Amino acid sequence: MRELTIDSELIKKFNPIHLEHHEFLPITVENNKLITAHTENATNHHEFIRNVGQVTTGYDTLFYSIKTERLKHELKLIKQGIYHRMLVSEKPNQVAPRGNILSVISNKGGVGKTTVSIELAHQFARVGLKTLLFDLDLGNADVSNKLKLFPEHTLYDFFNKEKELEELVVRTDYGFHFIPGECGEFKLANMTWSQKQRFFRYIQKIAFQYDIILFDLGAGITRHVIDFALMADDSCIVTTPNDIISGYAAAKAAFMRFIEINSKISKDSAEEVGEFIYAPWFILNQVNNQRHGTSLYQSLSKTIDEHVNQNSIFKLNPEFLGSVISDRALLTDTYAKREIIGLKHPNSELASNYRQLTHQYLGSNQQDATPKPPRGSGLMRFVRMLGGARS
């Protein structure tokens, strides 16, 4: 099984009415073939689809089947500027979209990482994305603590092989689904390699059920935290004006592990999947204003260029997701009442900041045509890792 990402520029060349009426989705061009997903209903439309593909791109079409409801859902998301990855099976020729996985990390506690994770999960759900928030602060269950949600079963039951991941899902009043962590459990804080392997495999299964999955990871840069962060398609580092050096250290630590993993693949393969570039997002939390956050990010990015990217084929290429202002009183009062900013104070500047982060991640507010660095797949990265030596 392999993975393809829907080519957004390719999609824009096709008439949306044709895609909906004839139930097909051009995914990408590979080996001089237009890779196209189609439903069973579109089988009789193959000649039309082939002709449209040839006229539009100049390539012959290679067909893969997709379930009707999944195609319709993807076309709906594409209208919002959201493009999923597709897992491809050659026998039989099928594709299935899976949700994007975003990890949220920090090098130290107190920077607002978990609050950011919760508010982002709500905002993703608010724009119509089926969202799952994982409390992967193993041993501390920080999301549970924030929301005062302590279900009977937690990730401990999964790692103890007593429950499947799907059985742990909790529907919240905040619009997103939630899988709880565990407080004070030594075994989770010190999990074995085989336990990580099991989680990595099962997350591939559950990813088909959601549009986006967020990992709220523990503070610090332990091997477990970094491995979970790199398993995600995108990682986001939360830092503050007072902890900017810690944010830099988190990015550098993840980058070193990224190099370690991807040094095992060939140069050609690495270039093909964008695995020479680690491009984490940065959120500057608790800033005075947006200009303050932008200035701090620019300084951070300059430091990385000068001290990290000088002598390696691998590059650390951070991107700026945005800033969140400091309003500790509003946050403390809201969460003390088991409420969240996006629901309780939707017109506040804080809620507006969280919405802007969401829009930036989804790409809906990007006005320039600046090329973005290619991003590899976290799941495929760890498929490679699982096939190698124990780490």
pLDDT digits (tens, 9 = 90+) for 232-277: 989 999 999 999 999 999 999 999 998 888 776 655 555 555 578 8
Token couple for 378: 């976290």
Global pTM value: 0.88
> What is residue 36's DSSP assignment?
E
Under the banding of pLDDT at 50, 70 and 90, the label for residue 59 is very high
221 contact partners, CB below 8 Å, separation of at least 6: 105, 107, 249, 250, 253, 254
User: Where are any strands of DSSP class E within the chain?
Assistant: 2-5, 24-30, 33-38, 60-65, 85-89, 94-98, 100-105, 131-136, 170-171, 177-179, 212-217, 234-239, 277-278, 281-287, 315-316, 319-325
317 contact partners, CB below 8 Å, separation of at least 6: 277, 278, 279, 309, 373
Say if residues 5 and 380 touch (Cβ distance below 8 Å).
no
Say if residues 348 and 330 touch (Cβ distance below 8 Å).
yes
Mean pLDDT to the nearest integer, 49-63: 96
Beta-carbon neighbour count of residue 330 at 10 Å?
17
Strand pairing category for 234-239 and 100-105: parallel
pLDDT over 90 (residue 71): yes
Please indicate whether residue 196 or residue 346 has the higher confidence score (pLDDT).
346
Rounded percentage of the chain residues whose pLDDT exceeds 70: 88
Separation between Cα atoms, residue 187 and residue 303, nearest integer Å: 38
Say if residues 294 and 320 touch (Cβ distance below 8 Å).
yes
**β-sheet bridge partners, residue 316:** 278
pLDDT over 70 (residue 175): yes
Query: What pLDDT is stored for residue 150 in this prediction?
Result: 87
Beta-carbon neighbour count of residue 162 at 10 Å?
10
Separation between Cα atoms, residue 109 and residue 297, nearest integer Å: 20
Ordered structural domains, the chain, with CATH = 2-97 (3.30.300.160), 100-386 (3.40.50.300)
Length of the chain: 391
Please indicate whether residue 275 or residue 345 has the higher confidence score (pLDDT).
345
Over the stretch 118-138, which tens digit does the pLDDT of each residue have?
999 999 999 999 999 999 887
Mean pLDDT to the nearest integer, 72-101: 88
* CA dihedral sign, ordered 295, 299, 304, 305: positive
- For the chain, the maximum distance between any two Cα atoms, rounded to a whole number of angstroms, is 62
**Amino acid at the residue 228:** F
Say if residues 27 and 11 touch (Cβ distance below 8 Å).
no
Please indicate whether residue 10 or residue 364 has the higher confidence score (pLDDT).
10
Say if residues 82 and 362 touch (Cβ distance below 8 Å).
yes
Say if residues 186 and 211 touch (Cβ distance below 8 Å).
no
pLDDT over 70 (residue 388): no
